[in-house]
Amino acid sequence: MKPSLLHQILDHANRANPYPLYEELRKTPVHHESDGPYVVSTYYEIRSLLHDPRISSDARNLASNAADPLAEAPQEESALPPGFLKLDPPEHDRLRRMTNRPFGPPHSPHRIDGMRPELHDIVAGLIDGIGDPGRIDLVEQFSYPFPVTVICRLLGVPREDEPRFHSWADTLAASLDPDPDADSAERGKGAHDARMQLGMYLAGLIEERRKNPAGDMLSQLATAEGEDGPMTTMELLSTAALLLIAGHETTVNLITNGMLTLLRNPDVLERLRTEPRLAVPVVEELLRFEPPVQLVPQRTTLADIEVHGVTIPKGATLWLVLASGNRDPRRFQNPDRFDPDRPDIQHLGLGSGIHSCFGAPLARLEAQLALAELARRLDNPRLLADPPPYRQNAVLRGPRQLHIACDGIRP
């Protein structure tokens, strides 16, 4: 029996190129299989739903999540509460507003742009340390350590602790990817345990920052006394965990997907080498063409909603396939063509609406600097394997390794 379209999307065998499946999905803009989630795959419908207040990010609003392979196990009382990514207004708005005070405008308007020289130094150091140019694993030697180093410095997490939180972050990221045949309770317990261990680790750092505050975000969040008052300890732990994981997981994929795409489009790579300002439109087109977050799962309807002639009932699970919407020919001409000269790239790669990517300014800057410097400094770069092996994750899509070679490293 041919597997369902939903199972094909989740199948690791299709990770290298899921776009033919997305094209098939778009023939039925609202796809629903018995007892499964409602899957929306077309641009305008996704964008509308991302702005619709009748759509909830809080899994507690699900009528039943038993049929949804991406549904989380019920939270135990001892577990950390959901981060603001999985909350609705007004709780979401309050926590996001408080988190943004030390991160961006209006209270910290220069925080990210002020990191530009520091980010450039990190990139330069990683490229300098590549070693053998004949065999480079871009993920291990560059795409992963760069954003991890950045988020550690921004938050105030010791970089040398990376081996500790790496395994917890991997477990939590992997928990997003469902295996319909796996034991959901066991998978939920693994994610719960990792979240608790990460929370206990961060609790120690936060206690230290309360006693000896520094200029990092953890210190500022732990000692904040703004108009919304302080975060509770549990809110602070959940927010710190969210920032630490989301602050590097998606950017790893964005940089790796970006370099893979550039190597497949050598004309654009050569332009970027000589025109570093091209990095801005290149990254925007990458967010459309190969977004690091492929789909947004676990949204819930708070009322019956009609989408493209289909009534999605209250309490249903909703999946929004951002990567499919980004290739919708009703919205983008020649959507399967990588074209940084597109005049209009209003992509869904960073979401939209109140849950649009919190770290978008940092992710954009990291990717722009990383890809521009790789293009400038790697002499005649080329792929050693195409397609590369992919992470087994339908939500956070990116190569597990990206083996490349070059003739040398330019100064």
Say what the pTM is. 0.92
Beta-carbon contacts of 411 under 8 Å, excluding residues fewer than 6 positions away, are 377
Closest CA to 258 of 113, 397, 112: 397
pLDDT tens per residue, range 155-174 = 999 989 888 888 888 888 77
Higher pLDDT, 188 or 106: 106
What is the per-residue pLDDT for 185? 66
What is the per-residue pLDDT for 76? 43
What is the per-residue pLDDT for 349? 97
SS3 (DSSP) at 354? helix
pLDDT tens per residue, range 284-311 = 999 999 999 999 988 999 999 999 999 9
Rounded mean pLDDT of the chain? Answer: 89
What is the per-residue pLDDT for 180? 55
What is the per-residue pLDDT for 80? 77
**Cα dihedral 273, 276, 282, 283 in deg (nearest 10):** 120
Alpha helices in 177-274 (DSSP H): 184-211, 217-223, 233-264, 266-274
pLDDT tens per residue, range 304-324 = 999 999 999 999 999 999 999
pLDDT of 176 above 50: yes
Average pLDDT over every residue of 317-335: 96
**Neighbouring C-alpha atoms within 13 Å toward the C-beta of 123:** 22
The CA distance from 61 to 314, in Å, is 9
pLDDT tens per residue, range 366-378 = 999 999 999 999 9
Pairing type for strands 317-320 and 38-40 reads parallel
Contact in structure between 250 and 363 (CB atoms under 8 Å): yes
- Range from 107-116, 348-357, 370-379 carrying the lowest mean pLDDT: 107-116
Average pLDDT over every residue of 332-357: 95
